[in-house]
Amino acid sequence: MAHPRLNDAQISQYQTDGYTLVKEPIFDDETFARLKARFEELLAEKGPDHLDTPHFQNPDLLEFLLHPSVLDLIEPVVGPNIGLWSSHFISKDPFKGKATPWHEDSSYWNGRTSTMAGIVTVWLALDRTTPENGSMAVIPGTHHNGFSDYKSVEDASANIFPTEIATVDESKAVYFTLEPNEASLHEGRIIHGAKANTSPNRRAGYTMRYFPTTTKVHHDDPRNAGFKIWLARGVDMAGNQYENA
């Protein structure tokens, strides 16, 4: 690794607990300002409910998703051969941003790839993010399975998803606080969620998701129809089909 950005304690925490926090700027000031401005443009144009995989229609975002600052950050936990899996701008408006029920990303992606192990999400804070405005929380150490039992949420109108994990020990939850341009990293199988935004402050972030290229993306799965992946760093190890960066 030319410029690994995680220290030994962060790597150990990620491997043991399934997450770690990066309490330092991810991008230089100018690059972050351009990303934030681009987000504001897309938010104004499309609204908060239509910002999943925005890089599919806006390839200029690949500059940030494939940026060495991000790839150096995740290489210690993903390995040297990295694929870009997905991205999503997430914005919770003041006072009315919905809750995100307890879930595992892997439960929604199950079967789309040969394994869920190794997928990492970089949750980049675009606004200051606190428990009051709906920051993410995790249940440490729950990333070794990834397929819990689910039930319907009590109030679908107040939640982003219609289902939630049936049994969660919320006493073990760790809620994040991040300044703009800081990030959390979490493994794709960890149990996580977020409360509703009850504050006067917006909470916005950019989720950037990556996988080790030893993982095979099943392009014959109907859920992957039209889905695009990019080779972010290194070489492909599983015969995947990538877009040209």
Q: What is the CATH number of the domain that holds 59?
A: 2.60.120.620
**Where does residue 49 rank: exposed (0-12), middle (13-18), buried (19+ CB within 10 A)?**
exposed
Q: Which helix (H) or strand (E) holds 37?
A: helix 29-46
2, 73 contact by CB (below 8 A): no
199 CB contacts (<8 Å, ≥6 apart)?
Answer: 94, 95, 130, 132, 133, 134
What are the angstrom distances between the C-alpha of 214 and each of 15, 83, 194, 231? 18, 9, 31, 12
Predicted pLDDT at 41: 98
Q: Is residue 242 part of a domain?
A: no
Predicted pLDDT at 62: 98
Q: Is residue 196 part of a domain?
A: yes
Q: Is residue 244 part of a domain?
A: no
Task: Write the pLDDT tens digit of every residue in 142-190.
Answer: 999 999 999 999 999 999 999 999 999 999 999 999 999 999 999 999 9
196, 101 contact by CB (below 8 A): no
Domain count, the chain: 1
Cα–Cα distance, 210 to 204 (Å, whole number): 20
Cα–Cα distance, 88 to 207 (Å, whole number): 5
Predicted pLDDT at 245: 66
116 CB contacts (<8 Å, ≥6 apart)?
Answer: 106, 109, 110, 146, 188, 189
Predicted pLDDT at 244: 87
Q: Is residue 238 part of a domain?
A: no
Q: Is residue 1 part of a domain?
A: no
Q: Is residue 239 part of a domain?
A: no
Q: Is residue 240 part of a domain?
A: no
Q: Is residue 3 part of a domain?
A: no
What are the angstrom distances between the C-alpha of 76 and each of 18, 66, 73, 112, 215? 13, 16, 7, 24, 17
Predicted pLDDT at 3: 73
117 CB contacts (<8 Å, ≥6 apart)?
Answer: 189, 215
pLDDT tens string, the chain, 245 residues long: the values are 557 799 999 999 999 999 999 999 999 999 999 999 999 999 999 999 999 999 999 999 999 999 999 999 999 999 999 999 999 999 999 998 899 999 999 999 999 999 999 999 999 999 999 999 999 999 999 999 999 999 999 999 999 999 999 999 999 999 999 999 999 999 999 999 999 999 999 999 999 999 999 999 999 999 999 999 999 999 999 999 999 86
Range of the domain at 148: 8-233
Cα–Cα distance, 61 to 194 (Å, whole number): 26
